[in-house]
Chains A and B, each alone.
Chain A
């Protein structure tokens, strides 16, 4: 059962301030439902009073969903549209029952809140039907039977069932139903279970044979295999929870009824099975070599690359200004100004970028009550961090200019400012240029950390893609190459400008 669904770690936090802060404080941002509902097959659907008409006359409903939970909802690699089992079923039902949907991709916890607070009419997000949740929601008929399944490397011919696992190690995701099931079987069949945090890590460790098998949610596993992640299944799925569409308790009864009617129609017409097969059947495997993958992913990656470059440049320009201001303060004769600059540098050099990213995006809005803007939160994070390093670079540059230069200029009757501007700064800039270029490159690389607050930069886009197609290694190689090319070009350009300006 998917009480605590496998998550793509940090990203799940993106829209949820509270969860992020919880994480900062050391907790895990799980969206687990609290109750261990233990009678999945015995779930009885509440009989609903109103019987809906088969036609809702084109009425529009807002439906909330998760951001990325393949294969139920995720963004298509090339089009960027939300697709997946949930999305396709919902759209097919809407068409069948003649209503319209406005899909809001909010993140799991936020989607639930949106429905309870009335901002959305319904939620479909790979959500298990539990007794606990039934106190707050009215659920549809189950539209998906989940469970846990074991997978092994496609090349492994020795494991045919649980009995062949004796003495071996298997992996499962921390806190998941897969882990619970694996541990139940471990005693009986004599194997060891190791808990891991990331889906990608689990699959990789089976492929590189540090573990023989992985226990994971059946749909996630089936989808991964369908995408060609190099695994296969040899045992049946262990039946688990059921997924349902939900509305707020006592509300939107006609929508719920329409969903149930539409679902029944889809099942009858074969459309339902066709949708499942599309995502879970190996025939649909994503194909092509790494170059094909790169070409297919380019629309999404180029968006990410653009965001990376824009946020890096905007942040760096501000960082340069900060570096100049605080750098001059550091060489000033005023003890107060020097003190301020020293504190600034100490704070931002002495704390990780991630702390500031979370603070600016999640923490600040809670304090001020103003909704955080992810771009400017990212800019502030990078600019303040980079500005601290640039402060030291500027200070070092200014101090490395012979004091005799300032004296000569002053002795000619030029003021301090003019002397700085015409004599000292040009020499300091020339001395510091290599370090400044270096800092630009570091800022560009650091911008990838902003994926943790959900900023859609290059690495974030790559993660979105491999969360959906499981071609982790290849995607990482592709983004690695893109970063390398961009940084090389940027360095060339900067050196070229340097040569032109600092003759």
Chain B
């Protein structure tokens, strides 16, 4: 299972301009991730976790080296191709949920399916399925401002999962949650990984998250320090 690379980077480098000079946030990352992995980037603040996740999510591009996601080279994609990749294959989960505030829970989860032109019937089935999974079927008409942080993050998970993406990229998904909620959403994601074989890549320094990871990739100063698989 783990031998088909979903993500592959070669000497991936990211340089940001900083004042007069520049700053290397990623310094030659070589990484391979297979289908169905449940992995996390772990490291102190500023070690380049988010930067790497953004590039793999085709929200940013490498300065040098290669980043292949599902066989597509991120730096070489046009804006349209990159958008298509995100739309079809990648689910994002953010620290601050990033739900659409004026939309209901149902509509937030439905949104990715609208972008993919699913029919109304399919949408309904998939949205209700995803909401059932995260345990929010009783809140479909509520809007994000009326939900707790844990509930918001569960909506975000449902939104990321509803289209059954190949990869879910989760940047500090528990940072705004208490312990109970953190464990709750981590269990949900672990279960999805088990049942749907979706590849998960986290960025975190939360021990609760680290406890669930099957593979821990330690970053330090933009380089891979250790790569440990359970």
- Does A associate with B in a complex? no
Q: Which residues from chain B sit less than 8 Å from chain A, CB to CB?
A: none
Residue ranges of A at the interface with B (Cβ–Cβ < 8 Å):
none
